[in-house]
Every structure is written in C-alpha cells, then in structure tokens.
C-alpha cells in the first residue's frame, strides 16, 4: 500500500502547554489506522492539527503533515479550505454540536457539495439525496427537509458522514464516531464506514477508546499516552500480545464475558501536560517501572513486528489470568426489596389555543419488575426505549400514570415520597451536570443528610469524611468544587452523594457510558465492593452489555416502553431468545475473534430505527424490524412465554418453538 497520509514528529502547543509531542504515523489508501488511548492523551488534538482546526491559542510548532505528497502545513488558508472536505474530512464526536440546529439537513449537505463539487440546483439536490442513501438513511428525500433535532442520534451521525463524503475526500478522520450510540446503531454506523472505505479506497483515521471497535475495524493500531505514541503495530499482533504496560492494563481493565473477577485498574490518571516531563510518562502509574524509567525517556524498539517505547519491552512477565471474584453472589431471597407492577408513564401532547390533549407519548407502558436486596437488575435497551423514565418514575421525579411501587412491603405514594427518597437514590449519567458547580463537595454530600434530618451536625461531618475515604478520594476533596476533579472522580462523588443517606436501593443511570475503560473499571469495582459490604440493591440502566455481563445478576430487556425479555444475566446474554435481544448481543464489538457467517454464526443488524412511542406499531412493537415477523405479530401483542429458570420472553416466534 502507498502512504496516503504521512505525519512526522508532529508537535502541538496550546499556550505554554505541549499537547502533542513528536507524534509520527502513516495511513495508506484503503487502510484504517486506529488511534487508541484514554481521554486527555491528545488523540483529538492530533486530528484537529491535521485539519488545521486547532482551538484559540493552539499552534503547530514542529513536524510535517503530507497528504498525497502535498505539504498540508505549508498551504495558505485559502488553499487549506479546499483540502478540508476535499482532501481530508472529519466526523466529529457529537453530531448535535457539529450540525447547525437551525438549518435543514439538505442545505448543510448542499453547502459542501457546492463548495467541493461546484453543483447547483437539481443536480445538487439529487447528489445530497444520493449521499444520504449511500450512508443508509431511510426515506432520504424526506430527510433532506428535516432539522437535526428531528433525527435520532444514529441518523444525525449518518448525516455527518454524508457531509464528510460530499467533498469525496481521500482521508476520513472519525473522532469517537460511535461513543454515545447504542450498540445496534453503532453497528450500523461502523458497517457504513467499512463499506464506504472499501468502495472508495479511502484511508481512515479512527480515534477511539473502545478496544472492541478497534478490534473489528482497524488494520493497524497506535496507542497514545500523554501526548506521545507509545506503541504501534498491526491489529492482529497488537491484540495477540500488547507490549507496552499501558496497553496491557487497558486490556485488563475490560470486563470479559463470564468473568466476574475484580477488574484491573490503572492507578492515578493521565498526567497534566503543563508540568515538566522526565523519563517515561507512564512511569508514575506503571507497576513494572524501574529507576531508569523515571529519568530517561525510552526510544522506539522493534519487537515481533510491533514498535514500542518502553525500557522493559520484551522482558515483561507474561500476562496473568484475572483472579476470580472474592465476593460471593448473595442468594436470592423470596421477599423482594422492590416490587413494581403495571408501571405506566404517559406524557400528554397538547395542541391548539386551549391546549387540548390530542395524544400521549407512551414512554413506559406496563412495566413490572422486582429486585432483591444485595442483587443487581440491569435494564437494557436502545436510547428512547424508556429505561431512564422507569428509574425517575420509581423516585417520583416523574409522576407515574398508573401502576404500583412497593419498597420493603410499603406501597410508595405521594404522601410518603420523602421516606422513599431516603431509601432509593439515583446516580445520574453525567455527573458534571448533576453536581452543583457552585457547591463544594462536602456541602453536596451534606445536602441530602440535612434535608432528611439524618444524624447530628457533627455526625454528618464525620460521615462525609468516611464517604470520601470509601470512594478513594483524598482528604481535601470535600473543600473543592466539582470542576477540580476528573470524570471518574466526579462519578465517585455522585455515588457518594447517593450513599450519604444510607439507601437500600441505588438506581444507576448509565454511570459509565462516557468513561474510559480504566475509569470504568474503577467505578465497577467500587459498585461491587459497596454491594458486598452494604447489601445494596442496584437497578442498573445501561446499553453496555459488557458491563451488564460483569455486574448484573438479572437482566430485563426493554423495547418501546415494555419489557420483552427477562431472566438471569447468564441466560439472557449467553442464550438470548427474543430477536431484539439477539440483535443487541450480536452487535456488541468484541476484542476476541468474532465468528462470522463462514463459521455458522450470523451477525444481526437491525434495519431502521426504533418507532416513536407517540404512535407505536400495532401488535408486537418490534415487528417492523424483526426478521421473523409474521401476520400474527402485526395484529396481536404477544403474551409472556415462560422458559426455564425464570427466563421469559414476549414473542410469538419463540412461543411457537416452545
């Protein structure tokens, strides 16, 4: 393969801080090069430097960037505008921020077509529709007249890809293109990228911290840490035997199927780059570091076809098998701590001058579940299926339309909601949004105890210190504000706030969705430790099935406001029966070699998007996307079909097989 992109000794400063330091790599035409590492390692800044789109104060201070033998850094800005989009294009991490919210999708794509291909009028409209068709957007002609907010997350990401392709680029830079997407939508987007790369012979720079995505999409891998590349090699060699201690620890931090043992964590965090660097930048966190590592920066070494920057390369001990969990899974008691029956949450739609109700959004439509003390029930499904609404309805942060919630034998209603909130607490998805930025951490933890009148003032202060210690935070953390902490530390503070009032049940709403694998491992270990020590029950809301496999005892799969499959985690994840659950499990990216159609296991890709809960399909709500749908599925919603060991599904196709 000929090199399409050549980056040599690239160095980027933002103000006085060196963000990218001496990075070199190349990408061939038709090849995907993955840049892997934790947040703060400099991956996105490297991509922005290639596009010359650095933030204010940022500048490229050294190195060269050549795209198809053209010196990108030497071009005047007028020429660089043609390179952006025409020579290389970028898919940004958050499409809702990258797309203009007040301009229709078709007009935004047309702008790129006019600039790079000189199209006008009907030819431009036809080309925009063809681009949406090429990235798998259904009903492309109608979507051209939609605004970004009218599209789902998966469709917005596809529109971003279509805009990037409008200039027919030779190189596509994808910066965390699937981080916030469900596994089914993620699989669709990655399929689109793989197909387009093959058809157009594009080079692709894939930036991610998801090892599963790298394993299934990359040809070569570069691992980045603290502004430097520390390891590089072919995908197969890298996944067979990562050579750098940092790469090894990223692998060990991943939850593996069927493994409930303690996850390996990387102590500390990525160093702040405004301090002087001496020796190997990973040495302060490395369990193998020697004195030389702290004073001398390592050079590149060739090892088994891989390149690695480590003084100890080739001499590290073999990777060990992770030890099994020291915690026994508590036995399931006959008495449920939480019993939910027939829960419904319908939001009225009002229109007209008199605001008459013209319909309802059936966000939650007849959900029943139970959780025992000391156990974890995972509620999984795509975004928009009603998972978070269930959690908020249990706390009465959203008022239920119907149904009953019984906690410890007491029916919860509007009159005793304050006692409910002492016994049930919630950890929200984004700790930065859910923590008051104007309150110190100690005051955040005290707020709930003060409101519920728990203990005397001196006892509360002692409890705060003990909570911070339990969370692994420093003694001075209570006097600092949330912005002074990393994402993982903020999530620990959110968990501490939930535990401050001694709850019996904690609702965890996507608590690890935006975290690196190393920080995710810390949070999962912490949740498991707390459950073993305090006997907590968890309702764990997520779409990350690897986390579910590691943490949950039981799984409930939700689709369009209803639970369609329920059972023990091992049964649901190892032998899913509902076609929707099968698609979810199939779509999870894996670092182990995946069996494909050549070996008898098909990878299921769902067509289309989840229907609107405003107007759900008649019969089984899943039938428009189901490969096994029959006439009865289109007419009648399926009853519950009981399988072995408490495993049940709602599916006519499964019922016909029993």
Once rounded to an integer, what is the mean pLDDT over residues 78-87?
89
All domains in the chain, ordered by first residue? 3-87+167-309 (3.40.50.300), 88-166 (no CATH), 338-655 (3.40.50.300)
Taking the C-alpha atoms of residue 357 and residue 155, their distance in angstroms, rounded to an integer, is: 30
**Measured in whole angstroms, how far is the alpha carbon of residue 187 from the centre of its chain?**
13
**At 322, is the pLDDT very low, low, confident or very high (cuts 50, 70, 90)?**
low
DSSP-derived 3-state class of residue 614: coil
DSSP-assigned letter for residue 356: E
Sign (positive or negative) of CA dihedral 621, 623, 627, 630: positive
The answer for residues whose C-beta is within 8 angstroms of residue 330's C-beta and 6 or more apart is 372, 373, 374, 375, 535
- pLDDT at 96 exceeding the cut of 90: no
Neighbour order of strands in the sheet with 58-67: 17-28, 3-14, 58-67, 70-71
Q: How confident is the model at residue 323 (pLDDT cuts 50, 70, 90)?
A: low
What is the pLDDT averaged over residues 26-33?
A: 95
Residues with Cβ within 8 Å of 401's Cβ and at least 6 positions away in sequence, in order, are: 344, 345, 346
Choose from 125-139, 254-268, 368-382 the range with maximum mean pLDDT: 368-382
Cα–Cα distance, 170 to 172 (Å, whole number): 7
CA separation for the pair 117, 124 (Å, rounded)? 9
Beta-carbon contacts of 202 under 8 Å, excluding residues fewer than 6 positions away, are 29, 30, 169, 170, 171, 172, 196
pLDDT surpasses 80 at 501: yes
Q: What percentage of the chain has pLDDT greater than the value 70?
A: 95
Q: In this structure, are residues 409 and 342 in contact, taking their beta carbons and an 8 Å threshold? A: no
**Alpha-carbon gap, residue 488 to 508, rounded angstroms:** 15
- Please write the tens of the pLDDT for every residue from 480-491: 999 888 777 888
Residue range 261-296, pLDDT digits in tens: 788 888 877 887 877 888 999 999 999 999 999 999
Question: What residues have CB less than 8 Å from 46, skipping those under 6 apart?
Answer: 7, 10, 12, 20, 23, 35, 207, 224
Distant-in-sequence, close-in-space partners of 416: CB < 8 Å, separation ≥ 6? 410
User: What local confidence, expressed as pLDDT, does residue 418 receive?
Assistant: 75
Helices H / strands E in the chain, number of each: 23, 24
Q: Are 566 and 647 in contact (CB under 8 A)?
A: yes
CA distance linking residue 160 with residue 267, whole number of Å: 37
Question: pLDDT grade, residue 227 (50/70/90)?
Answer: very high
Round to the nearest angstrom and report the end-to-end CA distance of the chain.
Answer: 53
Residue 331 has pLDDT above 70, yes or no: no
Tokens encoding 650: 């709602």
Give the tens place of pLDDT for each residue, 409-463.
888 887 788 777 789 999 987 777 889 999 999 999 999 888 888 888 888 888 8
**Distance between CA atoms of 164 and 205, rounded to whole angstroms?**
13
- What does pLDDT average to over the chain? 88
- Helix residue ranges, H only, 119-244: 121-134, 140-143, 153-165, 183-200, 211-217, 235-240
The predicted-structure confidence for 544-602, as pLDDT tens digits, reads as follows 888 899 999 999 999 999 999 999 999 999 999 999 999 999 888 888 765 543 333 46
**How long is the chain?**
658
| Burial tier of 617 (Cβ tally within 10 Å: 0-12, 13-18, 19+) | middle
CA distances from 410 to 340, 385, 402, 407, 612 (A): 12, 28, 17, 5, 35
Alpha-carbon distance of 274 to 309, in angstroms, equals: 22
The per-residue pLDDT for 328 is: 43
CA 554 to each of CA 478, 511, 532, 572, 649: distance values in angstroms, whole numbers, following the listed order: 36, 18, 17, 8, 14
Instruction: Tell me the whole-structure pTM to 2 decimals.
Output: 0.85
Average pLDDT over residues 132-154: 84
């Amino acid at each position: 393969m000929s090199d399409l992109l050549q980056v040599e000794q690239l160095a980027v400063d933002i103000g006085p801080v060196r963000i990218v330091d001496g990075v070199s790599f190349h990408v061939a035409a038709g090849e995907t090069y993955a840049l892997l590492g934790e947040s703060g390692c400099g991956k996105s800044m490297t991509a922005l430097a290639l596009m010359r789109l650095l933030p204010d104060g940022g500048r490229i201070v050294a190195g060269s960037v050549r795209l198809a033998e053209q010196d990108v850094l030497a071009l005047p800005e007028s020429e660089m505008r043609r390179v952006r989009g025409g020579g290389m294009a970028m898919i940004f991490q958050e499409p809702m921020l990258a797309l203009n919210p007040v301009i229709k999708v078709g007009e935004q794509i047309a702008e790129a077509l006019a600039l790079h291909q000189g199209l006008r009028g009907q030819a431009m409209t036809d080309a925009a529709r063809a681009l949406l068709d090429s990235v798998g957007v259904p009903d492309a002609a109608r979507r051209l007249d939609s605004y970004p907010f009218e599209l789902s997350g998966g469709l917005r990401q596809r529109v971003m890809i279509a805009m990037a392709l409008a200039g027919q680029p030779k190189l596509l830079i994808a910066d965390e293109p699937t981080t916030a997407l469900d596994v089914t939508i993620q699989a669709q987007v990655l399929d689109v990228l793989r197909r387009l790369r093959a058809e157009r012979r594009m080079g692709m720079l894939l930036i991610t911290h998801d090892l599963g995505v790298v394993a299934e999409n990359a040809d070569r891998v570069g691992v980045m840490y603290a502004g430097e590349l520390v390891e590089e090699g072919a995908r197969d060699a890298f996944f067979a035997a990562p050579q750098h201690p940092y790469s090894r620890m990223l692998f060990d931090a991943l939850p593996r199927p069927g493994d409930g043992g303690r996850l390996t964590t990387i102590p500390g965090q990525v160093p702040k780059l405004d301090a002087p660097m001496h020796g190997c930048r990973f040495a302060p966190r490395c369990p193998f570091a020697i004195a030389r590592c702290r004073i001398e920066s390592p050079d590149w070494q060739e090892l088994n076809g891989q390149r690695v920057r480590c003084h100890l390369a080739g001499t590290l001990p073999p990777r060990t098998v992770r030890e099994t969990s020291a915690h026994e899974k508590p036995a399931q008691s006959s008495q449920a701590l939480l019993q939910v029956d027939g829960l419904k949450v319908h939001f009225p739609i009002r229109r007209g001058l008199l605001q008459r109700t013209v319909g309802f959004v059936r966000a939650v439509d007849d959900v029943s579940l139970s959780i025992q003390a000391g156990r974890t029930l995972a509620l999984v499904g795509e975004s928009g299926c009603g998972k978070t609404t269930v959690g908020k309805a249990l706390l009465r942060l959203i008022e239920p339309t119907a149904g009953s919630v019984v906690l410890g034998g007491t029916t919860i209603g509007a009159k005793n909601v304050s006692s409910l909130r002492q016994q049930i607490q919630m950890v929200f998805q984004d700790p930065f949004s859910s923590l008051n930025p104007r309150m110190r951490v100690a005051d955040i933890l005290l707020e709930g105890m003060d409101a519920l009148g728990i203990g005397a003032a001196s006892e509360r202060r002692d409890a705060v210190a003990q909570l911070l210690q339990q969370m692994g935070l420093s003694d001075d953390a209570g006097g600092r504000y949330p912005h002074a902490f990393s994402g993982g530390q903020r999530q620990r503070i959110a968990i501490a706030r939930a535990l401050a009032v001694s709850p019996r049940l904690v609702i965890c709403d996507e608590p690890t969705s935006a975290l690196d694998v190393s920080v995710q491992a810390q949070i999962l270990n912490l949740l498991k430790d707390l459950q073993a020590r305090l006997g907590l029950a968890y309702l764990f809301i997520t779409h990350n099935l690897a986390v579910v496999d590691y943490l949950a005892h039981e799984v409930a799969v939700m689709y369009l406001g209803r639970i369609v499959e329920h059972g023990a985690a091992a049964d649901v994840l190892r032998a899913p029966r509902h076609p929707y659950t099968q698609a979810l499990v199939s779509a999870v990216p894996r670092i182990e070699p995946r069996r494909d159609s050549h070996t008898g296991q098909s990878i299921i890709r769902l067509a289309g998007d989840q229907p609107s809960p405003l107007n759900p399909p008649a019969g089984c709500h899943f039938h428009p996307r189901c490969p096994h749908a029959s006439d009865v599925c289109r007419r009648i919603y399926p009853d519950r079909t009981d399988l072995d060991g408490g495993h049940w599904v709602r599916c006519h196709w499964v019922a016909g097989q029993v």
